[in-house]
Structure 1
């Protein structure tokens, strides 16, 4: 991931090396807003073309996990929609789970999901399984607002995925999924940030 010609325009006005956390946090907030606006602003044709390429790459990346338990996400604010790819895997025996925010500042809980499952409106009105015992995925498919050359993720600022992965006694594999427009030179990773093992985009 060394081709800087594809670096997002949002990765400008970078903090100086050694910047303190409040400065980096403010920069992340501004960058997050720009990237979400760009993502939502994609034309329907452009989004469909990008999504098709992401789906092909994601399907290949997930193939080794067929038959396992995969945690994924319900798309939000213009995110790539992974549901068709994951549903196809479910037809071949893969189990699926969705994250639930039980309490702010706490790890996510994953509940098993299948089409037709009774859903409730969660935080930010994202659908979540209404009930179910917690499950522990073998793999997490994680949404990206942005990502950098080292595989660190810029999310929505709540720290839920980092906190969840850190709390798991058996660490799941991780694949970040998003559009190439979210590529950044760096997110200025902090001690609490956990790098993803693989990044999948339309590229």
Structure 2
């Protein structure tokens, strides 16, 4: 079995676990995420617009005291860029159907809330396979300290995420049950 086959099978299983967890609701995850972000007031934050069964970071993003952006995919195999967002911002469909602000300044985040399909206790995440967050974190971390916070249901934890040399680890994971630091 190739690395691509292993990751494809892991993604399929992870989607099913996340869907089941989503049906149970977010629990304490939104309050935990807001609490984790509080010491980073003033620092530029990037969140994401939730899709399908992703855990919704919007309440924590709206509560952040500082600039907030959401990812924009500029093209295949590129790092993400981030456009300023605020509650009530006019949104349009971007790549892969993710909503992005129709207009606004570009920001360079120092703290990122990262969506994922699965995570492990080493701090690795299984994403959707495009490598966008890995490229983005690598570039941001090369320029300045950057905090990457995975946001997931506890049910998305697995024993071992299959990784490659380009996979970037997370610094924290916030779930409906706990905050895990690496």
**TM-score for both structures, normalised by structure 1:** 0.80
What is aligned with 1:28? 7
Separation in 2, partners of 1:26, 1:129: 35
Task: Report whether the alignment pairs 1:61 with 2:36.
Answer: yes
2:45 pairs with one of 66, 70, 74:
70
What is aligned with 2:159? 185
Deviation at 1:171, TM superposition (A): 4.0
Unaligned runs of 5+ in 1: 1-21
Structure label with greater radius of gyration: 1
Separation in 1, partners of 2:127, 2:156: 11
2:150 pairs with one of 176, 184, 196:
176
Unaligned runs of 5+ in 2: 178-182
Q: Deviations over 1:37-92 (max 9, x none)?
A: 23224464x12xxx131112212211111122110011112010010122122xxx
* Cα distance change on mapping 1:31 and 1:188 into 2, 3 Å: closer
Deviation at 1:170, TM superposition (A): 2.1
Q: Is the 2:21–2:153 Cα contact (8 Å) retained in structure 1?
A: no
